[in-house]
Amino acid sequence: KAGVTQTPRYLIKTRGQQVTLSCSPISGHRSVSWYQQTPGQGLQFLFEYFSETQRNKGNFPGRFSGRQFSNSRSEMNVSTLELGDSALYLCASSPRDSTSSYEQYFGPGTRLTVT
């Protein structure tokens, strides 16, 4: 099976702009989680989607939002970008179709730089 894919891989934006990142999970996986990775804060959970519904949310401001489509592909959006939003954004897919499947497999990430 093809792995998790993310587009774009690299992005440069200016403060105040907004950005949309895309994630395609492994075929058959219905859960997508998003994480932010920075040198200072490490890996931090943003949110999880399952069957087009947000099931879990981390401690990020409302400028960070996401959605999931019927084919399980997911997008996350960051509005009014700040310098501190510069990070590697990773999505992870899981075969979870109940609470008994926990494994998460990561995509290559989108490197976002805000100037």
Partner 1 sequence: GENVEQHPSTLSVQEGDSAVIKCTYSDSASNYFPWYKQELGKRPQLIIDIRSNVGEKKDQRIAVTLNKTAKHFSLHITETQPEDSAVYFCAASSSNAGGTSYGKLTFGQGTILTVHP
Structural contact between residues 62 and 40, judged by C-beta atoms closer than 8 angstroms: no
Residue in 87, 90, 88, 63 with CA at minimum distance from that of residue 77? 63
Instruction: Kindly tell me which of 87 and 90 has the beta carbon lying closer to partner 1.
Output: 90
- Contact region with partner 1 (CB under 8 A), list: 14-22, 64-72, 75-83, 107-115: 107-115
25 binds partner 1 (CB under 8 A): no
Q: Binding residue for partner 1 (CB under 8 A) from 81, 87, 90, 114?
A: 90
24 binds partner 1 (CB under 8 A): no
What is the arrangement of strands in the sheet containing 5-7, beginning at the earlier edge strand? 5-7, 19-24, 74-78, 64-68
Question: For residue 25, what is the DSSP state?
Answer: P
Q: How far apart are the C-alpha atoms of 4 and 92, rounded to whole Å?
A: 7
103 binds partner 1 (CB under 8 A): yes
Instruction: Kindly tell me which of 35 and 64 has the beta carbon lying closer to partner 1.
Output: 35
C-alpha distance from residue 3 to each of 29, 38, 80, 83 (Å): 11, 23, 31, 30
74 binds partner 1 (CB under 8 A): no
Binding site for partner 1 (CB under 8 A): 4, 31, 33, 35, 42-45, 48, 50, 55-59, 90, 92, 94, 96, 99, 102-109
